[in-house]
Amino acid sequence: NGKMFSTLNEGLSSASRVLVASRNFANDATFEIKKCDLHRLEEGPPVTTVLTREDGLRYYRMMQTVRRMELKADQLYKQKIIRGFCHLCDGQEACCVGLEAGINPTDHLITAYRAHGFTFTRGLSVREILAELTGRRGGCAKGKGGSMHMYAKNFYGGNGIVGAQVPLGAGIALACKYNGKDEVCLTLYGDGAANQGQIFEAYNMAALWKLPCIFICENNRYGMGTSVERAAASTDYYKRGDFIPGLRVDGMDILCVREATRFAAAHCRSGKGPILMELQTYRYHGHSMSDPGVSYRTREEIQEVRSKSDPIMLLKDRMVNSNLASVEELKEIDVEVRKEIEDAAQFATADPEPPLEELGYHIYSSDPPFEVRGANQWIKFKSIS
């Protein structure tokens, strides 16, 4: 068995030890997943799915990276190295990793301001994300965006205004349709934004024009400090598109999220118009770093979610119990991830801040340079595209 192999080869490097141990692992395993609740749909995503060993290890590494990155951001915030707004997504890793697993890199995604996880899953490095959080030159927005405003290819960022990203997402879906590309746009918002009027306006246009838009409500049960029951007359967010079909998904199970996303993307690509997904998830941190997160919910509630439905733990248990991976091998990944996060944090604290003269840069994407007025009319900044 794997254990015997690893003790035999204690002298080998960890990488080759993992290789030797991997010879007895299954290549894939089939799992039962929770049935989605459906709205205006005859049938939903499948209730069983196959997970390959390779995919499982990849998802595990990605979720663990997002978790560790958020915990590092918490630490840097408490040291006052990160300042300003900072919304962490630990607990919600199955959402960002599962959604990415169900679409193509050429598809599009836009979200609100709890965006660090999506920035990573859309392809940016931890180093660029942490350096953006600390406002340094090497950050993904050159240190000028911070926590809420990060962008990558086909990722239209965190957006700071509650709900404002939803009409933008419908616009991206309109562009997909207009350009005749077989692409979809994932448009995310939280339960706190779900009562915004602009969301319903976007639903209406998307349905009228049959836009390839997947509206996704990440329901983490609290909008800031207000529970969903106190905020919404109907908490069945997946039904609130009314004339738009919807799914309610277990957002703590990465395989559920992946299958539901594949199903929703296929629905949009086939020309049927928009679809709604509600991901039932949970955040371990407060709403933002200025919210201790325990005045409107109990510590016991958070602990119970952690112990019973943690997304990383669920995937780990499945993989180990189905002989897709060994506990030692996953521990090895944890060690590598921690090192990657440490190195990125070193970079994010040592990298220089952008110089003041860059304040006016990048106002337009392609324009001849022009002058921008500073805090008074005698201060001028040059704007370069």
Provide the pLDDT for residue 84.
95
b (16+ CB within 10 A) / e for 142-177: bbebbbbbbbbebbbbbbeebbbbbbbbbbbbbebb
165 within 8 A of 193, measured Cβ to Cβ: no
- % of the chain exceeding 70 in pLDDT: 94
pLDDT at 150: 98
Q: Residue 331: which residues within 8 A CB-CB, separation 6 or more?
A: none
Q: List strand residue ranges (DSSP E) for 172-280, in order.
A: 185-190, 213-219, 222-223, 226-227, 246-250, 275-280
- Mind listing the pLDDT tens digit for each residue in 28-58? 999 999 999 999 999 999 999 999 999 999 9
| Whether pTM exceeds 0.85 | yes
| Average pLDDT for 308-320 | 98
**What residues contact 353, with CB distance under 8 A and at least 6 apart?**
135, 136, 137, 143
* pLDDT for the residue 129: 98
pLDDT of 373 over the 80 cut: yes
Show me where the domains of the chain are located: 31-38+45-351
| Residue 20 buriedness (CB in 10 A; 0-12 / 13-18 / 19+) | middle
Q: Which of 112, 268, 105, 245 is nearest to 187 (CA)?
A: 112
pLDDT at 19 over 90: no
Q: Does domain 31-38+45-351 have CATH number 3.40.50.970?
A: yes
Span 329-346, average pLDDT:
98
* Cβ–Cβ under 8 Å, residues 23 and 38: no
